[in-house]
Amino acid sequence: MSVDLVIAIIITLVGASTPILIAALGELVVEKSGVLNLGVEGMMLTGAVVGFAATYTTGSPWLGVLAAGFAGMAVSMIFAVLTLTLSSNQVATGLALTIFGTGFSALFGQPYTGKPIDLFRSVFPPELAMHPIFKVVFGYSPLAYFSLIMVFAVWWFLHRTRAGLILRAVGESDISAHSIGYPVIGVRYLAVAFGGAMAGIGGSCFPLILTPQWVEGLTSGRGWIALALVVFAAWKPGRLLIGAYLFGLIATMELYAKAAGGAFRILPSELWASLPYLATILVLVLFSLRAKGRTGAPACLGKPFVPMN
Amino acid sequence: MPIKLEKRPQPSRLMIYLTPVLAVALTMIIGGIVFSLIGFDGFGAVREIFFAPLINTLKWQDLAVKAAPLVIIAVGLSIGYRANVWNIGAEGQYILGGLAATGIALMTKDMSGPWILPLMALAGIAGGMAWVAVPAWLRTRFQVNEILTTLMLTYVSINLLNYLVFGPWKSPHAFGQPQTISFSADQSLPYIIPGTIVQAGAPIAIIIVFIAWFVVSRSLFGFQIKTVGAAPFAARHAGFSASQTIWIALLVSGGLAGLAGMLEVAGPFGRMVPQFPTNYGFTAIIVAFLGRLHPVGILIAGIVLAITFVGGEVAQTTIAFPYPAVGIFQSMMLFFLLAGDVLVRYRLRLRGSTPAGSTSGEAQA
């Protein structure tokens, strides 16, 4: 294998992993606060279409990402009001959010179908990325660096700050946190908003760094894979990074298999396309075997909390 | 927060029945306003989507055709949801049911006889069950969350469908189109009402509703499901096995989704095509909740959702209202229903001057 090919694979891999990693980091924080938001796929689709539209209209991918984050946050608030203020069933509400996001993106994206935008490319001067080794460091979209910074930021926030400690306390024991005087519902609102923004930004990666156009349902289940990754990562940001890059590798293999032919042709392309989903199931099984019941899930995950006073 | 929740001693029965109606009404009002605000003919859309299919009697047969698969799938899902078993991959089981039935149809293409159609139905049920058996096994054996596995398998099933219709199952007479050969008369559902497009799917859906009604309200299994969902510890003391409940709930929902797939491929489609996944499996989730997980409620909710599908097509042709907006109306119904759930379990009180969190310390002690 030539150096160029390895570098090309690494760059494709990072690109393919970035949307899942960003969305999963957001969901990790949401779940750490004790809330299970199954609407990631819907929020990603919303972010994808709004990010595309904003980039197409303004010509600035930076504004596109910003708009995608706000859009994801806005739709996550539907979920927050229903589950936190009205204490509705989190599973059902998350599903409803995904159905809503699918419909919203299909409607909102209709006028943009078939229109081109520029990819959100590296902001470093091209001379820096000339040499293959430098390309591995400087050759990515800003969104890829953002995802890596956020891995650290989320870890630091959860484990090194007081606010992170409160968030984890709320997720582990809502009643105790409430009785100490922490605003359980308020903390969860903020966590859901953060998760929505991250899912929206993650969704915007699809049109901005993967395929520079709007296609209905373009996230094709990546939001669900992000949810699975949070379980696989045992709610640890560092392991989320490993998991996301593992899936990036599988997705990259699929792309190269389609292009390369030869030995890859033995397997039909539909099987390659199924691999990320099959691998997700496999990973969940392996994780469950290893965890033996101790999954590391926040104790209050998915349970509604209603203040008693 | 200006509103305070006060738990009712027991769920309000009135609200259980009233909230789905309220949800649909609110969807029409708020949906009409929102779509008007963003520049569409919002209330024209509500008229065309929710009322035109009811007023125009010619559309009733379309309602029956669309409602049948929704009701059949939703009845199956509701049994699992009652037991807190979340099969959300009914779309995949529906596809597998359709594929299994197609497999039988291709094998029997040179044969004839009244036995072919029942065999296809059995294959459809078996296909859906086989597809959901994997998540059932993983959940009961390894505690792997069925929400994620059923959904992942849906994406795999779409790839399997594409592989078959673009590859081994492609008809040699279709001028390169990715589709199987057309089913023969013995492989297609009979028309129930002469001169209409209503096939055997609609009466089968009604039969399934009544069987499910009997099972849920009259049988020990119905009680077991409710208990496992509502009070897992009590269920264990009563000797109800959690993993047995999960298996049955998933197999029933997968089997019914598979049957719906068979009824669609042997009915309206008449052959297998890549367009076979029509999101019935996902829409059925809304139907199950809007119908309050009750078979008769699901029958009504299935008709309501069918109205929005048919009405969406009407609105597209009459007032050029974009069809994807139907999905927004449908999810709004579910949002409002879930929001309304709070009225079932709680009374809403306006919060007075009591400061938040002031008495919780004493409550704790």
CA distance linking residue B232 with residue B251, whole number of Å? 20
- The angle that helices B60-82 and B242-264 make with each other, rounded to 10 degrees, is 160
* The pLDDT of residue B93: 98
Minimal C-alpha gap between A2 and chain B (Å) = 32
Cβ contacts of A223 within 8 Å, gap of 6 or more: A23, A40, A41, A42, A43, A44, A45, A98, A199, A203
* The pLDDT of residue B358: 41
CA distance linking residue B200 with residue A245, whole number of Å? 49
Interface of B with A in 183-212 (CB under 8 A): none
Residue A6 has pLDDT above 90, yes or no: no
- Residue B5 sits at the chain A interface (C-beta within 8 Å): yes
Specify the length of chain A in residues.
Answer: 309
Where are the alpha helices (H) located in A33-89, listed in sequence order? Answer: 40-58, 61-80
* The pLDDT of residue B332: 94
pLDDT (average), residues B296-313: 95
pLDDT (average), residues B167-176: 86
Q: Which residue of B has its CA nearest to A219?
A: B155
Residue B162 has pLDDT above 90, yes or no: yes
* The pLDDT of residue A196: 98
Residue B79 has pLDDT above 60, yes or no: yes
- Provide the 3-class DSSP secondary structure of residue B142: helix
For the record, the structure tokens of B156 come out as: 């795999």
Residue A143 has pLDDT above 90, yes or no: yes
Q: pLDDT per residue over A72-101, tens digit each? A: 999 999 999 999 998 898 988 999 999 999
Q: pLDDT per residue over B92-120, tens digit each? A: 999 999 999 999 999 998 999 999 999 99
CB atoms within 10 A of CB A149: 10
Q: pLDDT per residue over B15-71, tens digit each? A: 888 999 999 999 999 999 999 998 889 999 999 999 999 999 888 999 999 999 999
For residue A85, list chain B residues with Cβ-Cβ distance below 8 A: 1, 3
* The pLDDT of residue B123: 97
Minimal C-alpha gap between A131 and chain B (Å) = 39
Residue A139 has pLDDT above 80, yes or no: no
* The pLDDT of residue A262: 61
Residue A226 has pLDDT above 50, yes or no: yes
Strands B3-7 and B346-350, by their bridges, are antiparallel
Q: pLDDT per residue over A188-198, tens digit each? A: 999 999 999 99
ipTM field: 0.90
CB atoms within 10 A of CB A256: 15
Instruction: From residue B365, give the alpha-carbon distance in Å to each of A49, A169, A262, B113, B207.
Output: 51, 19, 71, 75, 55
| Range of lowest pLDDT (A27-41, A154-168, A200-214, B342-356) | B342-356
* Interface contact A277-B156, CB threshold 8 A: yes
Q: Residue A68: how many CA atoms within 13 Å on its side-chain side?
A: 34
Q: Say what the pTM is.
A: 0.91
One-letter identity of residue B139:
R
C-alpha closest to that of A191 among A306, A76, A62: A76
pLDDT, chain A, mean: 89
Report for A114-118, A164-168, A231-235: range of highest mean pLDDT: A164-168
If 0-12 CB within 10 Å is exposed, 13-18 middle and 19+ buried, where does residue B9 land? exposed
- The angle that helices A162-172 and A142-160 make with each other, rounded to 10 degrees, is 80
CA distance linking residue B258 with residue B251, whole number of Å? 10
* Interface contact B156-A231, CB threshold 8 A: no
* The pLDDT of residue B360: 40
- Provide the 3-class DSSP secondary structure of residue B191: strand
pLDDT, chain B, mean: 89
Query: Do A106 and B327 form a contact (C-beta atoms < 8 A)?
Result: yes
Q: Which residue of A has its CA nearest to B356?
A: A309
Q: Report DSSP state, residue B10.
A: S
pLDDT (average), residues B332-342: 92
At residue B363 the predicted structure's pLDDT band, cuts being 50, 70 and 90, is: very low
* The pLDDT of residue B346: 83
* Interface contact B144-A281, CB threshold 8 A: yes
* Interface contact B155-A277, CB threshold 8 A: yes
Residue A1 has pLDDT above 70, yes or no: no
Cβ contacts of A127 within 8 Å, gap of 6 or more: none
- Provide the 3-class DSSP secondary structure of residue B355: coil
Percentage of residues in chain A with pLDDT exceeding 90?
59
pLDDT (average), residues B301-310: 96
At residue A292 the predicted structure's pLDDT band, cuts being 50, 70 and 90, is: low
Where are the alpha helices (H) located in A131-267, listed in sequence order? Answer: 132-138, 142-160, 162-172, 174-180, 184-205, 222-232, 237-260
Q: Which residue has the higher pLDDT, B272 or A306?
A: B272
Cβ contacts of A107 within 8 Å, gap of 6 or more: B322, B324, B325, B327, B328
- Residue B107 sits at the chain A interface (C-beta within 8 Å): no
* The pLDDT of residue B176: 79
pLDDT (average), residues A10-30: 95
A279: left (phi over 0), alpha (psi -120 to 50) or beta: alpha
At residue B356 the predicted structure's pLDDT band, cuts being 50, 70 and 90, is: very low
Interface of B with A in 154-173 (CB under 8 A): 155-156, 159-160, 162-163, 167
Residue A49 has pLDDT above 90, yes or no: yes
